[in-house]
Amino acid sequence: MPTIDSKNSAFDVAAFLASAGLGRKLIHLRPRQPFFSQGNPADSIFYLQKGSAKLTVVSQAGKEATITLLAAGDFVGEESIAAVAGLRMATATAVTACTALKIEREEMIRVMRQEHSFSEVFLSFLLARSMRIQADLVDQLFNSSEKRLARILLLMAEFGKPGEPETLIPYITQEALAKMIGTTRSRVSFFMNRFRKLGFIEYNGRIQVHKSLLNVILHDGFFEQNAVSPPLLAPPNSRSKPSGRKTARVSKTEQTVD
């Protein structure tokens, strides 16, 4: 998301988003505590100062899906500034302990109209969010479940953002990861064991992500190679040869890392 720079602006965007004031207040949430729930009035927007959260939706049949993950520097609930205030279309929930600035709808609209520097920051966020949602959709439609899992872990570790990534990601269950990528817990367990054996992650209560996990996303067919430590670039004819160990691989799908 965009970095806030208020040095050349009469209106201090960073100060506005860092402190309470007229129409805005600081809130603190515990893990699993909601910012708002699906169907609530869309009467405010949140700026996440610390922590991580997720945005989920529940269908009429009761099936839950995770739309996106949220990190410090993200806005949450931007639908509240639509021309006509409506209801929340999703639920935002803290994954870790969070500190956020809650901005009332009227105050958000006022400052966007009057302060162009703030409008630029918010517009940059919306464009970045739109690109992220498109990437999430492509990931869901075209990538395998192991690639989706690798991408979720990298996003939670904040690889690709300015500064050093937080390699030790917040505690999250395999059930939650399975919901995020649209697969079963047993498949998540299988791939987590595989990532660990290949040295991409460490798992001892909490997950530590290494940069080498990017190989899963960057190299197509990486997991088609059944060696314990496969080379990044396989010989030209290696993929056409049967591994002879397919049955052994399938039999381990129920392993867990608990």
pLDDT (0 to 100) of residue 211: 85
Nearest partner of 13 among 3, 24, 1, 5, judged by Cα: 5
pTM of the predicted structure, to 2 decimals:
0.66
Check residue 246 and report its DSSP letter.
Answer: H
User: 13-140 — its CATH code?
Assistant: 2.60.120.10
In the chain, where the domains are located: 13-140, 144-250
pLDDT (0 to 100) of residue 79: 87
pLDDT (0 to 100) of residue 67: 80
DSSP per-residue string spanning 121-173 = HHHHHHHHHHHHHHHHHHHHHHS-HHHHHHHHHHHHTTTTSSS----BPPP--
pLDDT (0 to 100) of residue 223: 42
User: 144-250 — its CATH code?
Assistant: 1.10.10.10
pLDDT (0 to 100) of residue 245: 47
Place of tokens 């997950």: 207
Measured in whole angstroms, the distance separating CA 170 from the mean position of its chain's CA atoms is 12
Nearest partner of 196 among 150, 246, 137, 247, judged by Cα: 150
pLDDT (0 to 100) of residue 255: 45
Q: Which residues of the chain fall short of a pLDDT of 50?
A: 6-9, 221-236, 238-241, 243-258
Kind and range of the H or E run holding 98: strand 98-104
Place of tokens 């208020």: 6
